[in-house]
Structure 1
């Protein structure tokens, strides 16, 4: 008897947080092919979420995505929560504008997702044991959560920016136009950081590791990569046997055809140039023997009117119709306008019943989920000899891979399969058995859970320590406060004695409702000394040494949880030795150096650019965060330490939403705490490097300087507590 979750839960079942940000995600009637962002990844994450939730070692799985309120899409995507059964659900959080956005436009809003995810997790009363992210945008979000909470990150790339950019440049596209359209620089930088940080990277094929991840600078830890081919829902995709094909699905095809009972060559993809639909039509149109042997069915997304499609899709569909006319294929090609997701399995079965073939003519295919669906349906296939199809052919022995750049090769392969009935039957049977053995969701989840068990065992001591500190440690230091004001010291809080006196007098009247804190590059000793000198009471919380230390109240009680959290991958002496070779970097005085901070005087004309320093440290297998400010200081911190990370840690620990934090700063080392869901004030005397934030939401640029700028910001935000300064 199988040991399923329904029969008996394990003693300590785990909680998995799945994150997939873009596209239209729901648990039923998935609109695959509606646009470029709603495709195979959507199927994968929803089916994986359901399959994991059924496993006896998993208590619950939350699939976190973006909430969309847009009259052009279904109201389903505006629902904050959708149950998937067995402890699985989709959780939708607002992010940026309410309307639907393509994935390339989501990047400016991802910090909001980090902040809102922390708040969501606080409400759960339990942290996840694992964060599994999908694609670079979710990978960025998951990496920040992983750093803040000390939870291991598993990542699945689905597709990668660097190989995509190389292919597009090779096709003649201009670099600046591609950057404007696809945000490649930000995506690739995020992917580099994800590769460096993730505890486990799941791929579909070895080719994905060798030829795609292999293009990345940080791909030097092969032990963290695992090939776990995705599954397919064999309850949906199954051979026709004696099952009757739905008349509606059959009519979608047959109404186009003169002789509908002929074998059916079936292809399904988005109308995208890389999918090479044009090459398939050419292969069929130039091969009279193939036309005699079979009909052709092409499902290229959905459409009501070609003229209403995006420009690139209009071009593909128009050329498709022109080519059908050019080769005079009317009555031989079916091109339905609307195919629902419930009808797709029926089309596979229809093609199998008519002893047809599935064909994926794309120029390259990282994996090939449609090939698995075809094999599960008892339908042999032809696919590109580039990427994942090689592995599928090896496992299923039910198809051929060819050079799809040459249309005649596609045509020859299709005829080769069609002309031998015995071979066709053998390959159809091979495919069904191969999918059950290698590509069912049950097989996928078993391999997945084996890797996760090993990962969590390795991480157990660290997780236990951090969970105990965060979840079961001391009570929140300020349980009664409703809001928090966190300010930098130099050039922000200090610099104008009159306005400082006015601000501190008001803060005393707000103690039961408002926490006051500082976030500074100064050491704790220096911060206390300068505050005392300027007659500022010791704040409720002190974030010092550029976010590498947190202390509380007059007793300066250290936050040991934060110390344990940021210690990860920190090798202070090795970093100091590595950076000693650069003449443009000079260590500051010893009193400015800390256990978790190296501070340098930086000469802009002599020091290397930050990206070169990062690459240099990476080559030495050293991990650090570099913060450059005032065009003269460089602070080297643990990867988990910064003012921004410290504030988000406090938001979680106190259970205080980030939008209830008002933060004030003036320089580059304040940037992380100024962006996201915090309400930010940048004082009038700010450094030039903060000008890039001028168009950011929830950031107010004050005209007044120093504490007067903070007061101006309090009045701007109009919060009741702040309005009467």
Structure 2
């Protein structure tokens, strides 16, 4: 990138750079983000009548395209340039066009000065740097392989381990000897005494099972194999046992990373799984639409069901039925004593659709009952998590009758709990962020002190740093969640380098090229969300009831607005009312387009109708804003706003009812980490318009099976929807074409079976490598504990003291 700057300075464009910088200084804005830079340069090109190529193809245009931020000082400009994914360079350009590179520390000091919180003395700001802990771990080189961590780790560590056959066989023998369930030995027993005997006995066992019929049940020859040295876990039939032993035989004689992954995926390693989702109203009914609930609750419940189902299938295939082995999956959440008619105050609740899946709710300790008896916002939950871990550990050990084999954290608070619990129990930890708030709120770290009373970002961002570095592996729904796109920064990437003035500087917050990152998108509950064409699976009475509710029912208690013409094509959206979900932005988009109003109705399902029914400040503000927009654009008769909480079965049928009327689904979020509602709409057959900011970029293929929108550009969004509606009117089959492709897209890539098969495979392989590589993570974990006890905990105690005053 320094070459591109040199190219600008060596040609006539250096005068344009000087002029552009001068004009930027004349404006009031001193800190420009990428959108600001693009807009300002476009205005510069227009005002100075530059040729059309100049904006995109000139050296200066290319340099500004790669520039993510510009900070204007009195006599210089700081340019933060991102020449490629997961890479950042910083330069200071003085008025005389002298260019010098800046260090990360220089940049963080400059950002501090920008908010007037810079301390002139040196060494007075805590610097956090996690890079040394990754120096001795393998790292991915090519950015396009980020998110494929397990494949890289497998190849790297296999090549190292396989170089010493003696050590490799010793490790493999020890690893196979470890496995047991409730005191019952699995895989191999004491009759196989060492690595040499392992190789010999494997060949003997292959010869034995090869003589039996392929479908001969394992129970028929279980004790014969036991005499040779093999316990249950190899398979449920002769052919399955033979296949697994042949893979092991190949692994012993000619080890290969692909064969290793195939073998590890087949053996029983995981029996008890805990999914942690602490904040919000966690339940199976009456919670969706409440603050801090939504996609995450649906995700975790569906994941729990799918995990149990997948483990049951694995245990059957592995021949563990003879031992009566059954998986157990527990969702750990908090108990909310004032449950407002929900079941969130019940200690134990069976997960519907499972044999042994449970929601275990553990109460927060009662510090101030006016606070702890009620729901606590995800932004204020932090003081209660450490004691929650201590209490929940006792409950979990009792329910499992032992330790879990895998801990999966969800969201920032759940991931911090996962770290503390995995540390106490020495269990494999998996993190799933769902959304990292730092990316959703611009300048949230820079102005954290101004936002602290409302959002407590100092606690959240510190918790994120601890959990993401502690995790054995991290699951993201998309590639861009980790490192963004060529022109946007990823959620995890935003933690690589940032300042929280007066608190600390993060010089290197996370190794983006670490093999701990894996992209494993979620699926859709296919029992609830399925194509509108499957009439045989739909209940006509439910469809009729929901159709009436959506379009004609007069019920002021839960519905605002009556439609002048209910037969118009519906534009539908469903989300909670908060600023990021941006339903008010969609309403304003609709209000600004008389053409859309003429041809369509807007149907919104969005939380509550009245401010007095909410205790969430952001939701209250959005309710007031939505009423204002409806009045401002005179949308009465054109908009229906349903303040209802739907049972899951109804939420699936709602999409299909909209599809019956050839409607469209719009997801207008300002940022969306993934977008489960997008999958739900697409699998139902609804043509879907979704935000271009975040995960939808990897779900939808634009104009093939859906459409991208820029929710900040209301005119462009309205125009895209209008063009689609017009094309559908001109070509009646066009709606069906997009509908069919949307359904195909989900079934090919976004099912829970694909997700959980991959998740369990990852958990086993990372567990295997943690054992065999003897990776010493103690130094990293001690560093993280210091961060927890010296930064996080005192601030959490401060928040707790504030809660005492309520």
- The bucket for the TM-score relative to the shorter chain is 0.5 to 0.7
Distance 1:83 1:462, change over 3 A: farther
After superposition, the CA RMSD in angstroms is: 3.3
Aligned pairs for 1:309-388 (under 5 A) are 310-341=616-647, 342-388=649-695
Distance 1:387 1:695, change over 3 A: closer
SS at match of 2:643: coil
Partner of 1:82: 349
Matched, 1:284 2:590: yes
The structure, 1 or 2, with the larger RCO (C-alpha pairs under 8 Å, 6+ apart) is 2
Structure 1: stretches of 5+ with no match in the other structure: 464-566, 571-621, 627-638, 645-667, 676-688, 698-725
SS at match of 1:120: helix
Distance 1:402 1:186, change over 3 A: same
Distance 1:113 1:281, change over 3 A: same
Aligned pairs for 1:143-158 (under 5 A) are 143-158=419-434
Partner of 1:447: 758
Partner of 1:269: 575
Partner of 2:474: 201
Q: Is the Cα contact below 8 Å between 1:284 and 1:291 reproduced in 2?
A: yes
**TM-score for both structures, normalised by structure 2:** 0.55
Cα displacement (A) at 1:112? 1.1
Cα displacement (A) at 1:461? 5.1
Partner of 2:402: 126
Please give the per-residue CA displacement for 1:418-457, whole angstroms capped at 9, x wherever unaligned.
Answer: 2223332111001111111111211211222222231222
Cα displacement (A) at 1:266? 0.2
Please give the per-residue CA displacement for 1:667-724, whole angstroms capped at 9, x wherever unaligned.
Answer: x99x99xx9xxxxxxxxxxxxx999799889xxxxxxxxxxxxxxxxxxxxxxxxxxx
SS at match of 1:379: coil
Matched, 1:114 2:389: yes
Q: Is the Cα contact below 8 Å between 1:266 and 1:297 reproduced in 2?
A: yes
Q: Is the Cα contact below 8 Å between 2:273 and 2:406 reproduced in 1?
A: yes
Partner of 1:219: 510
Matched, 1:47 2:302: yes
Partner Cα separation in structure 1 for residue 566 and residue 739 of structure 2: 21
Distance 1:167 1:240, change over 3 A: farther
Distance 1:134 1:325, change over 3 A: same
Distance 1:98 1:285, change over 3 A: closer
Matched, 1:625 2:782: yes
Distance 1:49 1:397, change over 3 A: farther
Partner of 1:61: 329
Cα displacement (A) at 1:392? 0.7
Q: Is the Cα contact below 8 Å between 1:393 and 1:400 reproduced in 2?
A: yes
SS at match of 1:66: strand
Cα displacement (A) at 1:215? 1.6
Q: Is the Cα contact below 8 Å between 1:13 and 1:57 reproduced in 2?
A: no
Q: Is the Cα contact below 8 Å between 1:306 and 1:317 reproduced in 2?
A: no
Matched, 1:412 2:719: yes
Distance 1:62 1:31, change over 3 A: same
Matched, 1:105 2:380: yes
Cα displacement (A) at 1:34? 1.4
Q: Is the Cα contact below 8 Å between 2:382 and 2:796 reproduced in 1?
A: no
Distance 1:77 1:279, change over 3 A: closer
Report the structure, 1 or 2, having the larger helix content.
2
Query: Which of 746, 751, 771 pairs up with 1:435?
Result: 746
Q: Is the Cα contact below 8 Å between 2:440 and 2:580 reproduced in 1?
A: no
Distance 1:30 1:427, change over 3 A: farther
Distance 1:14 1:460, change over 3 A: farther
Structure 2: stretches of 5+ with no match in the other structure: 1-232, 237-265, 316-326, 366-371, 484-489, 496-507, 553-561
**TM-score for both structures, normalised by structure 1:** 0.61
Query: Which of 276, 289, 310 pairs up with 1:33?
Result: 289
Aligned pairs for 1:569-718 (under 5 A) are 569-570=777-778, 623=780, 625=782
Distance 1:420 1:624, change over 3 A: closer
Aligned pairs for 1:497-508 (under 5 A) are none
Q: Is the Cα contact below 8 Å between 1:147 and 1:640 reproduced in 2?
A: no
SS at match of 1:90: strand
Q: Is the Cα contact below 8 Å between 2:430 and 2:474 reproduced in 1?
A: yes
Aligned pairs for 1:8-27 (under 5 A) are 13-26=270-283
SS at match of 1:625: helix
How many equivalent pairs are there?
480
Q: Is the Cα contact below 8 Å between 2:448 and 2:458 reproduced in 1?
A: no
